[in-house]
Structure 1
Amino acid sequence: MITRAGWGLVAASALLYALGAPFGYAQSAVLAVAGVAAVGVSALWTLRGARLDVRREVTPVKVARGEPAVALLHVRNTGRWALSGLVARDTCRGTTVAVELPPLARRTSRTVSYRLPTRRRGETPVGPLLLDRGDPFGLARRSIAYGRPTLLLVRPRTVPLPSPHAGRRRHLDGLASRSAPNGAAGFNGLRDYVIGDDLRHIHWRSTARTGVLMVKELTDVNLPDTVAVLDNRHSSYEGDDEFELAVDVAASVACSVARERFPVRLFTGSGELLHAKGGPGEAEDVLDRLAVVEREPGAEPPLHALRRAGSGGVLVLVSGTFATLADAAAVRRRFDQVLFVRVGDPEPGAAPPSAPGVTVVQVSDLDDLATTWPR
Structure 2
Amino acid sequence: MITRAGWGTLAASVLLDAVAAPLGYQQAGALSAGGIAAVGAGLLWTLRRPRLEVRREVTPVKVARGDAAIAMLRVTNRGRWRRNGLEAHDTCRDTAIVVDVPPLARNSTGTVSYRLPTRRRGETPVGPLRLDRADPFGLARRTTSYGQADLLLVRPRTVPLEPLNSGRQRHLDGSASRSPSGTITFNGVRDYVIGDDLRHIHWRSTARTGTLMVKELEDVSLPYTTTILDTRAGAYGGDDEFELAVDAAASVAWSATRRRFPVRLLTGAGELLSAKGGAEEAETVLDRLALVERATDADAPADVVRRAGSGGALVLVTGARTALTGVASVRRRFDQVVCVWVGSSSADDGPLVVPGVTVIEIGDLAELAAAWPH
The answer to whether TM tops 0.5 is yes
Q: Flag the 1:4–1:284 CA change in 2: closer, same or farther, 3 A.
A: same
Residue 211 of structure 1 corresponds to which residue in structure 2?
Answer: none
Q: Flag the 1:198–1:96 CA change in 2: closer, same or farther, 3 A.
A: same
Q: Flag the 1:190–1:241 CA change in 2: closer, same or farther, 3 A.
A: closer
Letter in 2 for 1:330: S
Residue 80 of structure 2 corresponds to which residue in structure 1?
Answer: 80
Residue 11 of structure 1 corresponds to which residue in structure 2?
Answer: 11
Query: Shift of the alpha carbon at 1:168?
Result: 3.2
Distance (Å, rounded) in 2 between the aligned partners of 1:216 and 1:298: 46
Query: Shift of the alpha carbon at 1:114?
Result: 0.5
Distance (Å, rounded) in 1 between the aligned partners of 2:195 and 2:327: 49
Residue 207 of structure 1 corresponds to which residue in structure 2?
Answer: none
Distance (Å, rounded) in 2 between the aligned partners of 1:42 and 1:164: 69
Distance (Å, rounded) in 2 between the aligned partners of 1:143 and 1:83: 14
Query: Shift of the alpha carbon at 1:368?
Result: 0.7
Query: Shift of the alpha carbon at 1:353?
Result: 2.4
Residue 273 of structure 2 corresponds to which residue in structure 1?
Answer: 274
Q: Flag the 1:100–1:256 CA change in 2: closer, same or farther, 3 A.
A: same
Give the match's secondary structure for 1:281.
helix
Letter in 2 for 1:186: T
Q: Flag the 1:273–1:197 CA change in 2: closer, same or farther, 3 A.
A: closer
Give the match's secondary structure for 1:247.
helix
Query: Shift of the alpha carbon at 1:197?
Result: 7.5
Residue 137 of structure 1 corresponds to which residue in structure 2?
Answer: 137
Distance (Å, rounded) in 1 between the aligned partners of 2:15 and 2:125: 45
Give the match's secondary structure for 2:112.
strand
1:200-225 Cα deviation digits (max 9, x unpaired): x999xxxxxxxxxxx99753122221
Residue 311 of structure 1 corresponds to which residue in structure 2?
Answer: 310
Query: Shift of the alpha carbon at 1:196?
Result: 11
Letter in 2 for 1:70: I
Query: Shift of the alpha carbon at 1:317?
Result: 0.6
User: Are 1:42 and 1:140, in contact at CA under 8 Å, matched by a contact in 2?
Assistant: yes
User: Structure 1 residue 244 and structure 2 residue 236: aligned?
Assistant: no
Distance (Å, rounded) in 2 between the aligned partners of 1:223 and 1:234: 34
Residue 368 of structure 1 corresponds to which residue in structure 2?
Answer: 367
Distance (Å, rounded) in 1 between the aligned partners of 2:37 and 2:189: 95
Give the match's secondary structure for 1:282.
helix
Query: Shift of the alpha carbon at 1:302?
Result: 1.2
How well do the aligned residues superpose, as a CA RMSD in angstroms?
A: 2.6
Letter in 1 for 2:46: T
Residue 172 of structure 2 corresponds to which residue in structure 1?
Answer: 171
Residue 353 of structure 1 corresponds to which residue in structure 2?
Answer: 352
Within a 5 Å distance, the mapping from 1:204-223 to structure 2 comes to 219-223=218-222
Residue 51 of structure 2 corresponds to which residue in structure 1?
Answer: 51
Distance (Å, rounded) in 2 between the aligned partners of 1:24 and 1:338: 92
Give the match's secondary structure for 2:115.
strand
Within a 5 Å distance, the mapping from 1:150-189 to structure 2 comes to 150-169=150-169, 170-174=171-175, 177=179, 179-180=181-182, 182=183, 185-187=184-186
1:270-327 Cα deviation digits (max 9, x unpaired): 1111111224410100000000111112211112211221111111111111111122
Q: Which runs of 5 or more structure 2 residues have no equivalent in the other structure?
A: 203-213
Distance (Å, rounded) in 2 between the aligned partners of 1:195 and 1:358: 44
User: Are 2:181 and 2:216, in contact at CA under 8 Å, matched by a contact in 1?
Assistant: no
User: Structure 1 residue 116 and structure 2 residue 109: aligned?
Assistant: no
Q: Which runs of 5 or more structure 1 residues have no equivalent in the other structure?
A: 204-214
Query: Shift of the alpha carbon at 1:3?
Result: 1.0
User: Are 1:172 and 1:221, in contact at CA under 8 Å, matched by a contact in 2?
Assistant: no
Q: Flag the 1:190–1:49 CA change in 2: closer, same or farther, 3 A.
A: closer
Distance (Å, rounded) in 2 between the aligned partners of 1:189 and 1:99: 65
Q: Flag the 1:19–1:190 CA change in 2: closer, same or farther, 3 A.
A: closer
Q: Flag the 1:338–1:152 CA change in 2: closer, same or farther, 3 A.
A: same
Give the match's secondary structure for 2:96.
strand
Distance (Å, rounded) in 1 between the aligned partners of 2:157 and 2:67: 9
Query: Shift of the alpha carbon at 1:17?
Result: 1.5
User: Are 1:346 and 1:364, in contact at CA under 8 Å, matched by a contact in 2?
Assistant: no
Residue 338 of structure 1 corresponds to which residue in structure 2?
Answer: 337
User: Are 1:173 and 1:186, in contact at CA under 8 Å, matched by a contact in 2?
Assistant: yes
Distance (Å, rounded) in 2 between the aligned partners of 1:300 and 1:216: 41
Q: Flag the 1:195–1:61 CA change in 2: closer, same or farther, 3 A.
A: closer
Give the match's secondary structure for 2:22.
helix
User: Are 1:270 and 1:299, in contact at CA under 8 Å, matched by a contact in 2?
Assistant: yes
Residue 93 of structure 1 corresponds to which residue in structure 2?
Answer: 93
Give the match's secondary structure for 1:275.
strand
Letter in 2 for 1:7: W
Q: Percent identity?
A: 61
* TM-score normalized with structure 1 length: 0.90
Distance (Å, rounded) in 2 between the aligned partners of 1:196 and 1:321: 48
User: Structure 1 residue 102 and structure 2 residue 102: aligned?
Assistant: yes
Stretch of structure 1 that moved more, 350-359 or 39-48: 350-359
Distance (Å, rounded) in 1 between the aligned partners of 2:310 and 2:366: 30
